[in-house]
A and B are shown apart, each in its own frame.
Chain A
Amino acid sequence: MTVSSVHAPNDAAELLRLDEWQGTVGNPQLRQAWTEELAGAYVPRLTGKVGGWAENGNVVHGICDDNRSVLLPQHRFIIGDREYFTSIKGCGAQFDAFTHQQLDEGILKGICHDNAMHSRLNGSSEKVRFITGERWYGKSPYGAQAPDNALLALLASMGADVNQIAGFHICPLIAAVRLPKEVERIASQFFWYRKYDGGYWQEFRLMPSNIRLYFQSPVTFGMNTDIAFSLFHLDSMQACERFLANLSRSSLAALTLFARSLRQDAKNGRYLGLEYQDVWLDKDAVIAPDGVLHFADLEGLEDEPASSTQQVKERIRSQFFKHVYEVNFALEALAVQTDRMLALRRSHHERRAWLMDVMEKASRSDGYVRLEREGNRMMAIVEPAVDADRLTVEMELFSEVGN
């Protein structure tokens, strides 16, 4: 049975779909998802107005997600037994880059460096989204996506087995699109302090939900667990256990990404494995309605070299411990809400024992990590994809198991 995608309600977004662009790089594995109805470049309506594009029925209705993304739930695609909807990252920012205000034409007039464009803005206080030319975080146009980020994300997707890398689930990219020259010309005239001078791209990715772990969603699993349960139709112990098993299995995969993506780089006499660069599970991952954690911001996945056995083991450990708190937060939120919803009177001790029991069983079908009790502790035994006999690492996941 297919698991339907779910999105939490959020503000509506309107984009103008253009049938021109400078370039598209697609993911061959998801060629079918790049349909005629979807293909295009999507810009804020205000960008269209400033550029003089006729709308001609090309306004597309979506749902806001984070600051510069829009969900298009009308464009869905099934991978395996899970449904995904399309999300466009880099189709205009909602917020002023330097204050907490939402963008409006008044703000944009203030940062406009072109007289002709300035005159096309009426200065109204109606909330808008816009692609600007502010150079953001060193290399990105504020509101769109930088070429290297878009293409790195696409590369990570192309190297995956459609939506997963050895059990680590991702929100795969369908394509990366470079916006038309005219859009770049307009955007580059709007900046606060530093002008961006590269290409303006956007990513088309597939997401099973917009429920993130803790940050940057209208509903997050950690902060609005009641609502997440309602959205995911978790209303029985069996449903909660299935969800927990999937969340646990996929989270352990995320914690051991380096190990499960490890391979030998014979040319340089070293190992390579995937590492998270400036990305975090609590804001850059979403949870599917069946509990499977999907990593969304793929530009943050990069190969990291390790030259020795010792270094490989150290990387496995540091990745695991750097992110395990975020995972535990989600698991605890799930367990607490299960008790609330089912009116269970379990103590913290009993709840934890339940968590560990389900997690231990769920880990049995993972080829790279298994959980085992050692005395009163729960250990994670990680066996990398290559040279497992020399590179296996044991780490303490929980200090006390109890019965």
Chain B
Amino acid sequence: MQASKAIEILQSVEEKGTPQMSSDEQGELVQEGLIRLIPQEEYDSMQRNVQGLDSTAAKVKDMARSSDSSRKAISIRSSGNAAPSEEEYCRTLQQLESMLLNKAMLDSSAFSPSTGSYFLLTADGKRTLEDMRVWKRRFGQLELNDFLIKLHDIRYELATTVNKALNITRDFQGFGYGYSIPDARAPSLMLAERGSTAARTVNLLNAKGDQIAPRGEKLMIASLLGEKEGVGTELVTRYRQLTAKANEMGMTATDDDFRSAALVGLPDEQVDQVLERVKQLKLTLNLNENDLTWLALSDHTVEQSETRYSSLLSGAQAMGMQEDAPLLTAMAIMAGSDLPENVVLERFDFLQGALQRNYRSPRVAAAMLAIGPLEPEEALFVLRESVGIISRASYFDDAEEVDNLALLLATTNSIMIPAAGNASVDQSRGSAITPGRAMLFLTPLMTGAFLYYWMNQNYHLPTIQRIATHPMHMHTVPYFG
């Protein structure tokens, strides 16, 4: 059975309709655990059981009121009856719970005339139905089993990455350099995605005499270098050369220079070309040098980049968006992609609206997801799953970390999902089959570096100090209780 057929059936069960399906299809859905068959006998038994619901509920209520009789003062609650034994009360309560469960099952069951059976949508079925609604266009033609495996793989990959990151964070702690755990989380996540290690990062930090405890940004730079091929000392030397070269060209390059870290893998002539384009773009665009480097790495000429950026900015303003620093960065991110301007703007607008409640400034996050290879709804799915797995793994101290780390996890993982094969996207909405990052020299790893940089600049909370809060209270003077 194709996934698209399964969605029709499951939807009908959810709506307590009369799903049309063959016996084979019914068997497959039951076997996958998406629906639960209710045998006629069980159905009849449940109907009989719920008939006593009202009288049992009344009995429980009376027992609850008299269960703490014989107490004194306020706690006297006797309704005149003798207090029931605790055993009797528990037994009646269990009966009531069983009846309520049966009633809930009966209320949510559906009947299929074609197979003559009653069904319930299971929790897995409900989740699969939601999955199908999001991924129907990309994976709808897959066989049901393949679809389930695909979705399982996406979730498994996210969970595995976070579990690896948990271990890497512990490794960072073990090195005894005084890294704060919040500082180490984003780098750990990145290392976990790339299969690198904390030890390699620490070696890189130490390669040029940087033995002092680093700030969070420095740890991030070392993690970026750590994902590249090569010997530690050579990578650090190359990084230092690139920051020096940028300084010579009149650019600001500090130890926290993400641009130099991103360019470490490129040969000299390509680096020169990129830096030259940054210099030219800087003359006309009011952007920081990291964002300019992103544009300089794109396939677009300097003129095309300028035009795309200006056009996107005008488009955003025409849609009523107020200009602020995050909006400018968002436009630069989108200008560097190869998606048509109207398409990427539409995706951005949708995502920005959806992310309003997650981020104080959702624009950069929306742009990061908009240029990715997934449909906006799909990108939100991955982001939502990322929030879930980070929450469940308690991979955070401060609640604000959850969404920020999820963004990093989602954006970097999104790049890999279409590459997992079997992608089939409807292009009618101008969607990107390949990631929207047709870059001059850019490798997927370098895209990751920029995602990392934007996340760091806009969302990462470098060092979180937990302090006792004494928030204002509406009913009384602050602090005092």
- List residues of A whose CB falls within 8 A of some B CB: 9-11, 64, 66-69, 95, 100, 136, 156, 158-161, 164-167, 215-218, 223-227, 229-230, 235, 237, 260-261, 263, 274, 278, 280, 282-284, 297, 337, 340-345, 357, 361, 364-368, 370, 383, 385
Q: Could you say which of B127, B385, B469 has the most chain A C-beta atoms within 10 Å of its C-beta?
A: B469
CB atoms of B61 and A366 under 8 A apart: yes
Known contacts A340-B388, A343-B388: A365-B473 contact under CB 8 Å: no
Could you mark each residue 224-236 of chain B with 1 if its beta carbon is under 8 Å from any beta carbon of chain A, else 0? 0000000000000
The number of chain B residues touching the other chain, given as a range, is: 35 or more
CB atoms of B466 and A218 under 8 A apart: yes
> Which of B36-44, B70-78, B309-317, B432-440 forms part of the interface with chain A?
B70-78
Known contacts A216-B470, A361-B100: A280-B74 contact under CB 8 Å: no
CB atoms of A343 and B387 under 8 A apart: yes
Could you mark each residue 373-402 of chain B with 1 if its beta carbon is under 8 Å from any beta carbon of chain A, else 0? 000000001001101110110101111001
CB atoms of B473 and A345 under 8 A apart: no
B60 within 8 Å of A (CB atoms): yes
Known contacts A9-B466, A226-B399, A284-B481: A364-B57 contact under CB 8 Å: yes
User: Which chain B residue lies CB-closest to A10?
Assistant: B468
CB atoms of A261 and B74 under 8 A apart: yes
Q: Could you say which of B104, B134, B481 has the most chain A C-beta atoms within 10 Å of its C-beta?
A: B481
Residues on A with C-beta less than 8 A from B64 are: 167, 365-368
Could you mark each residue 385-429 of chain B with 1 if its beta carbon is under 8 Å from any beta carbon of chain A, else 0? 101110110101111001000000000000000000000000000
CB atoms of B61 and A226 under 8 A apart: no
CB atoms of A95 and B479 under 8 A apart: yes
CB atoms of A226 and B481 under 8 A apart: no
Contact of B388 among A227, A263, A341 (CB under 8 A): A341
CB atoms of B468 and A364 under 8 A apart: no
CB atoms of A166 and B68 under 8 A apart: yes
Contact of A343 among B104, B384, B399 (CB under 8 A): B384
CB atoms of B387 and A340 under 8 A apart: yes
User: Which chain B residue lies CB-closest to A212?
Assistant: B481
Complex-state Cα separation, A280 to B73, whole angstroms? 24
Complex-state Cα separation, A108 to B26, whole angstroms? 77
- A203, chain B: closest CB distance, angstroms: 12
Known contacts A225-B399, A261-B74, A361-B100: A283-B481 contact under CB 8 Å: yes
Residues on A with C-beta less than 8 A from B396 are: 226-227, 230
Instruction: Tell me the chain B residues, 446-481 only, with Cβ under 8 Å from chain A.
Output: 466-471, 473, 475-476, 478-481
- A258, chain B: closest CB distance, angstroms: 12
Known contacts A10-B468, A159-B75, A274-B74: A368-B65 contact under CB 8 Å: yes
Enumerate 30 A-B pairs (CB-CB under 8 Å) in ascending A order.
A9-B466, A11-B467, A67-B481, A69-B481, A159-B72, A159-B74, A161-B71, A165-B74, A216-B479, A223-B471, A226-B396, A226-B399, A227-B396, A227-B397, A229-B391, A230-B394, A230-B396, A260-B77, A280-B475, A282-B473, A297-B481, A340-B388, A341-B388, A343-B384, A361-B97, A361-B104, A366-B61, A367-B63, A367-B77, A385-B77
